[in-house]
Amino acid sequence: IMIWKNFKFKDLNFSDEVQIQLQQEQKYSYPLQNVDYKLQERTQTFLNENYHGGLLSSTLFGVRYFDFEGIAIGLEKEQRGILHQLLRTQLNIEANPQKNPYYNLFWLTDDNRPVFCKAKVTKAVDFKNALGDIRMPYDFQLASPSEKFYGVELKVLEKQLGSAGGTALSTPLWAALGGYGGEIVVENRGNRQAPIRLEVKGKCTNLKILNLTNSQKFRVEAITENFVYDNQNLDFLPNKELIVEDGEKNIKPLRSTGGQIFLEPWFNRLVVLTDNPSERANIKLLYRDTYA
């Protein structure tokens, strides 16, 4: 099985299993023959935006384009008509390009890990011959607003302030970091920095987040009860701003150290600190393995 046949977009499933079943039961199928997914040069991105009426934000730096080639197979003209309508409906540029929504695009990595990104149609499906032929080659293009893609599994780790793997943090670490905290050892199995969502529920005095693996740090000068730090956003769109909230109130202006926190590929040591050793807030980390 070729890995690039395992794409799914909207109501289309290009996997071998589904295509074989369609051909056997419905007498039609639309298998992919080739997929080229790559990053484009900045100038090419601008040309594409202009051609498609601003489909992609002009602030984007790392657009990834997916160029698909497939073949629609229908034994009878009726089946070919169904295929023609199905693909044109699912793979057409929507009416308002400025508000053209993104959809999940799923596929498998070379080692069979399910991943996804957000994508939209930037070149509508085009058929290479008429309905009179049993085989109808076709192509189309999707674009993602980020060069990164993500593991489908949303990974969740939970700890409590004052613990690291179930035991208290060592005094030398407290002294070195100047506070009291909880450590999370976390693995990003991708090959790019992974964004995170960190929730800290319970009273915390001057909360600080550190990734000891890459020396990134973030601190707010405030007493928080329901803290959220989120540079992930569920849409994975790069123009979304960092979220720093306490009980849904924006406390980003209270940060004294404003660097963002990301997980490096492989293992990371993430530490959450407060200035008060009696505090026992619960820490919840959410992330996805991140690839490019």
Distance CA 127, CA 205 (A): 62
User: Do residues 80 and 27 make contact, with C-beta atoms less than 8 angstroms apart?
Assistant: no
Residue 165 token pair: 């793997």
Q: For residue 95, what pLDDT band results from cuts at 50, 70 and 90?
A: confident
Q: pLDDT higher for 256 or 237?
A: 256
| Beta bridge mates, 184 | 270
CA distance 134 to 75: 6
How much is the CA Rg of the chain, to the nearest whole Å?
24
Amino acid of residue 144: S
- The position carrying tokens 């384009």 is 65
What does the mean pLDDT of the chain come to? 82
What confidence tens digit (pLDDT) does each residue in 103-135 have?
999 998 878 889 999 899 989 999 988 788 899
Helix (H) or strand (E) holding 274: strand 266-274
**What is residue 164's predicted lDDT score, i.e. its pLDDT?**
41
Start-to-end CA span in the chain (Å) = 22
Residue 236 pLDDT class (50, 70, 90 cuts): low
pLDDT digits over 38-83, tens only?
Answer: 665 444 444 444 434 334 443 444 678 899 999 999 999 999 999 9
Percentage of the chain lying above the pLDDT 70 cut: 79
CB atoms within 10 A of CB 14: 21
Question: For the segment 19-33, what is each residue's pLDDT rounded down to a tens digit?
Answer: 999 999 999 999 999
Q: For 151-170, what is each residue's pLDDT tens digit?
A: 999 999 998 887 443 334 44
Asked if residues 207 and 190 have their Cβ atoms less than 8 Å apart, the reply is no
pLDDT greater at residue 13 or residue 64:
13
Q: How confident is the model at residue 4 (pLDDT cuts 50, 70, 90)?
A: low
Query: What pTM did the predictor assign?
Result: 0.80
Say how far apart CA 36 and CA 14 lie, in whole Å: 15
Measured CA to CA, the distance from residue 101 to residue 234 in angstroms comes to 14
Q: By C-alpha distance, which of 15, 235, 215, 231 is closest to 107?
A: 15
Place of tokens 């993602």: 144
Structure token pair of residue 227: 């803290």
* Cα–Cα distance measured from residue 224 to residue 240, given in angstroms and rounded to the nearest whole number: 23
Looking at residue 46, what is its pLDDT?
A: 46
Token pair listed for 127: 């058929």
At 145 the pLDDT is: 80
When pLDDT is averaged across residues 278-289 and rounded to a whole number, the result is 92
DSSP 43-87: HHHHHHHHHTTS-S-TT-S--EEEEEEEEEEESSHHHHHHHHHHH
